[in-house]
Amino acid sequence: MRDEVTVHMNATPEAIWALVSDVTKIGSYSPETFEAEWLDGATGPAVGVRFRGHVKRNQKGPIYWSECFITECEENRLFTFGVGKAGKALNTWSYRLTPAGDGTDVTESFALTPNLAFKIYWALLGWARGKTNRNGMRTTLERIKAEVETPS
């Protein structure tokens, strides 16, 4: 009920952080979340800050808004948020930035909250959703890579 994808980027953690921690940019990278906005007057990331993402599930639908809350925020290193009401995440997404050689390894991951309903769902349909999530994470990271590696 979890997975991760890592892509090496020839860029600094600072350059990558500016993209992954600004939720208003996610629509440029994610194949499912096509826009997001900060809530409660927030303008940037911090633990406890809420935002919402506009999702087109499986790139087809349904289309809906998902409320999210930031659970970990270590500048240039780690950005993690839960999907759902604060303290009651259904799913947790994370970006981990690790300096490596000439750039940064960026790992995107997800973990479903372990409960009976998700265990049944994952046993029946996890193979399909897992593949979709893995492909989506790779697409997101490759799009970020293309942006941070393009000379300005």
pLDDT in tens, the chain (152 residues): 889 999 999 999 999 999 999 999 999 999 999 999 999 999 999 999 999 999 987 778 789 999 999 999 999 999 999 999 988 999 999 999 999 999 999 999 999 888 887 788 778 877 777 788 899 999 999 999 999 998 86
* Rounded Cα–Cα distance for residues 89 and 69 (Å): 8
- Of 10, 5, 20, 22, the closest CA to residue 104 belongs to 10
Q: How many CA atoms lie within 13 A of 25 on its CB side?
A: 15
Tokens 């259904």 identify what position?
A: 90
The pTM for the full model equals 0.92
Q: What is the CATH number of the domain that holds 113?
A: 3.30.530.20
Provide the domain count of the chain: 1
Cis ω for the linkage preceding 45 (within 30 of 0): no
CB distance 52 to 64 below 8 Å: no
CB distance 72 to 78 below 8 Å: yes
CB distance 69 to 52 below 8 Å: no
Tell me the residue range of the domain where 28 lies.
2-149
* Rounded Cα–Cα distance for residues 8 and 20 (Å): 14
Give the pLDDT score at 123: 83
